[in-house]
């Protein structure tokens, strides 16, 4: 596809359920980022992959959050035992590389997660 | 710790007017300052960016002004149009050699711009 795609676009979960959010980055993009955007706030960094390697997971709020990118393309963000405070839009972004040109990040439309 | 502070939180401008959004940063290690535009239901999209060795950058109706000594940068939208109504975020990347140099972004809290006819 032409841009970053994410699925599902909307997810409603009952508290305690596990969810999995998918990101398809732009083909050939080495770097992949996950961000969490609470209502009315700016996106906050969660984790970063370079190809299949997760190089930075400093933003993951708890050990209930887990991300993977096993083949260096598609990534999945998994949230176990969801809590109401996990309700947010989860954004995925990709960029070409670590170099200066890689600073241009392309964001997907996000997955809006609502935990009841 | 909020590393990028953005103001105002919301802004209403008449069509044809100038919209000005300000950001202040704390970390002098920041070396790249992008502005992102976000429409409802969409992800942020890069609008314009500046490096700290430049005091101003203009692209069409959008201009970034950068004041390194004051650690501030601002977005000016000239001849504002209703289609510019969106949320704008300033941001800065922080590259850490220890964490793989991923250019992760730190965002401001956003400015909701409404351009009225």
Q: What is the pLDDT of residues B37-82, one digit of tens each?
A: 999 999 999 999 988 888 999 999 999 999 988 999 999 999 999 9
Cβ atoms within 10 A of the Cβ of B15, count?
12
**Cβ contact, residue pair A91, B43, below 8 Å:** yes
Query: B93, A103: Cβ pair inside 8 Å?
Result: yes
- Residue B64 sits at the chain A interface (C-beta within 8 Å): no
Q: Which residues of B16-33 are buried (b: 16+ CB within 10 A; e: fewer)?
A: eeebbbbbbbeeeebebb
* Predicted confidence (pLDDT) at residue B97 exceeds the cutoff of 60: no
Indicate if the pLDDT at residue A105 is higher than 80: yes
B104 vs A contacts (CB less than 8 Å): 33, 45, 48, 56, 59
Mean pLDDT on A53-76:
95
Please give the backbone phi and psi of residue B99, each rounded to the nearest 5 degrees, phi first.
-115, 30
Whether the per-residue pLDDT at A102 is higher than 90: the answer is: no
- Contact (CB<8Å) B100/A56: yes
Q: Which residues contact B87 (CB under 8 A, 6 or more apart)?
A: B37, B38, B39, B110, B111, B112, B113
Residue B28 has pLDDT above 90, yes or no: no
Average pLDDT, chain B: 89
Query: What is each CA distance from A108 to B9, B10, B112, in whole angstroms?
Result: 24, 24, 20
Smallest Cβ–Cβ distance between A41 and the set B32, B34, B109 belongs to B109
The partner residue sitting opposite A109, judged by closest CB among B41, B46, B89, is B41
| pLDDT of residue B96 exceeding 70 | no
Which one has a higher pLDDT value, B102 or B38?
A: B38
A88 min Cα distance to partner chain B (Å): 12
User: Residue B95: CB partners within 8 Å, gap ≥ 6?
Assistant: B31, B101, B102, B103
Instruction: Tell me if chain A has a CB within 8 Å of the CB of B45.
Output: yes
Residue B92's pLDDT is 86
Can you give the pLDDT at residue B30?
72
Q: Could you give the C-alpha distances from B51 to A23, A110, B9, B76, in angstroms and in order?
A: 30, 28, 24, 16
Please check whether residue A64 touches B, CB under 8 A. no
- Measured between alpha carbons, how far apart are the two ends of chain B, in Å? 38
- Arithmetic mean of pLDDT over chain A: 92
- For strand B56-59 and strand B62-67, is the pairing parallel, antiparallel, or unpaired? antiparallel
Pairing of strands A19-24, A106-107: unpaired
Q: What is the mean pLDDT of residues B85-94?
A: 91
Contact with chain A for residue B89, Cβ under 8 A: yes
Total residue count of chain A as it appears in this document? 116
A27 pLDDT more than 50: yes
Interface membership of A110 toward B (CB under 8 Å): yes
- Residue B19: pLDDT band with limits 50, 70, 90: very high
Contacts of B59 in chain A (CB under 8 A): none
More confident residue, A31 or A99: A31
């Amino acid at each position: 596809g032409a841009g970053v795609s994410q699925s599902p676009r909307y997810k409603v979960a009952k508290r305690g359920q596990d969810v999995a959010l998918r990101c398809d980055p732009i083909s050939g993009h080495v770097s992949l980022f996950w961000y969490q955007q609470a209502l009315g706030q700016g996106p906050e960094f969660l984790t970063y992959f370079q190809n299949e390697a997760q190089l930075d997971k400093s933003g993951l709020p708890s050990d209930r959050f887990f991300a993977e990118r096993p083949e260096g393309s598609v990534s999945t963000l998994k949230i176990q035992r969801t809590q109401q405070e996990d309700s947010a839009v989860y954004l995925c972004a990709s960029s070409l590389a670590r170099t200066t040109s890689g600073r241009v990040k392309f964001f997907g439309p996000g997955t809006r997660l609502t935990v009841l | 710790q909020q590393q990028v502070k953005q103001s105002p939180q919301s802004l209403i401008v008449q069509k044809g007017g100038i919209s000005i959004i300000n950001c202040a940063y704390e970390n002098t290690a920041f070396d790249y300052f992008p502005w992102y535009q976000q429409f409802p239901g969409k992800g942020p999209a890069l609008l314009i960016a500046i490096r700290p060795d430049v005091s101003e950058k203009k692209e069409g109706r959008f201009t970034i002004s950068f004041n390194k000594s004051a650690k501030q940068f601002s977005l000016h939208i000239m001849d504002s149009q209703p289609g510019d109504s969106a949320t704008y975020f300033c941001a800065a990347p922080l590259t850490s050699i220890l964490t793989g140099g991923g250019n992760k972004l730190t965002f401001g809290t956003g400015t909701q711009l409404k351009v009225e006819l």
